[in-house]
Amino acid sequence: MVRSIKYILLFIMLFVLTGCWNRIELNELWVTSATGVDATDDGHFLLSYQIIVPSAIALGTGGASGGASQPASHVFSMKAKTFNQALSYSHMESSRRIYLGHNRVIYIGKKAAENGLANLIDFYIRNTEARELVSIVIIDGLASDMIKKLLPPDKLQGAAVYSLIENEKELFSVYPNVRIYDLVLSMNSDSKSIGIPVAGLIGDKEHKTEQEAENLDVFKKTSSPLKFQLTKLAVIQNGKLKGFLNEEESLGVSYLTNKIKKTEISYPCSEQSGEKMYSSLKVHSAKTKLKADKSGDHYTMHVNVKVDGTLMELVCPQDVSDVKTVRNLEAEISKEVYRIITKGWSRLQSLGIDVVGFADRIHRKFPEEWKNVKGDWGKEFKKMELDIQVNTQIQRPGLQLKHMDR
């Protein structure tokens, strides 16, 4: 009897468990690789979606191969009052539903960044398809223009830009890879600030070349007249663009925030015939420790940086088999790191914006005093002092111990 009941239940389950009730086939979706966000003069948004064309990739078109007739991506642009409305409007001009689950990067136009990123954050946090780990890039211009450009030799611009950001973070560490998740954390921190990479096109910016960058013929050239490049760091406070840091200032911020993974330090070592000579150290690790302190009515942050690396270029007449010479080189490199950190710090203080997140450390160590300064932290931040100590260690001087004369 019991066995019969089991068979009956099993038979019923075969009809009940019929698979995924809400499944959507891939041929019913346009998978998004990148999204562009711009603000219009009438207070609306212009959303641009770069969707992947699978047939172009599968057939080997859309790239550098001969006979390419179709790009590997296409761009839809919609103007709307909200992000969700723009996504809904896309159904009136797209044969498939736009899917944001695989979006790699979000381009934010300069004007949209100045107006504020609150709508972007709200949409990505509430939407179940959108992912909080998508990277953000500020565009020095219109995101809708940037998203249309092709970036040889890569077929998919969104994926290529995401890889570029990741590689730069891992190998040079000037600009961070900021995700929606990081932006949300910054909005809820005591400093309410964050730095986001800025990108632009460099090279020949004539109207003709900009048009060519949207044409498949650009893949037939050995070098594109326009190239995508990270150019500076945007300073965001309370979700709005407030200013910029150049490359060197941004690197100083990377040291202060302990985000250096690998980088390069070019430091002056001597002058010959009036020409300044530079040598180079490849940094394998840079560890920064911070300690907050209070001196009188103001605060001091003690910064201890430990740099380890390998000599990659030595153009000065020095013998690195001598321990004293190595110590002198380490001192010169430490001075260069000190200069870079100081430059970035000075720029932040002039803006009065705490991108490095010192407010959170002051709050944790001095909770009672924080109640008195949190309302006007920008002014207090400008008065804050930095005590910087840099210790450099050359782990490997290389096989050649002496510089070869010219």
Answer for the pair 145, 201: CB distance below 8 angstroms, yes or no. no
The confidence score (pLDDT) of residue 321 equals 76
Gyration radius from the chain CA atoms = 26
- Which pair of structure tokens corresponds to residue 132? 């909080």
Helix 118-126 vs helix 180-187: angle between axes, to the nearest 10 degrees? 120
Contacts of 231 (CB under 8 A, 6+ apart): 140, 198, 199, 200, 202, 247
* Tens of pLDDT, residue by residue, the chain (406 residues): 667 777 677 766 666 555 555 566 667 789 999 999 999 999 999 999 999 988 777 665 545 444 457 888 999 999 999 999 999 998 888 888 999 999 999 999 999 999 999 999 999 999 988 889 999 999 999 999 999 998 888 888 999 999 999 999 999 999 999 999 999 999 999 999 999 999 998 887 776 777 778 888 888 888 888 889 999 999 999 999 999 999 999 999 999 999 999 999 998 876 555 677 888 999 999 999 999 999 888 899 999 999 999 988 888 777 777 888 889 899 999 999 999 999 999 999 999 999 999 999 999 999 999 999 999 999 999 999 999 999 999 988 765 556 555 4
Q: Give the three-class secondary structure for 227.
A: strand
Angle formed by the axes of helices 323-351 and 247-256, nearest 10°: 100
The pair of structure tokens assigned to 214 is 């949207």
Looking at residue 65, what is its pLDDT?
47
How many CB atoms within 10 Å of residue 63?
Answer: 18
Token pair belonging to 164: 């570029």
Is 149 within 8 Å of 110 (Cβ atoms)?
Answer: no
> How many residues in total does the chain contain?
406
What's the CA gap between 326 and 388, in Å, rounded?
Answer: 22
Query: 58, 63, 74: which is closest to 154 by C-alpha?
Result: 63
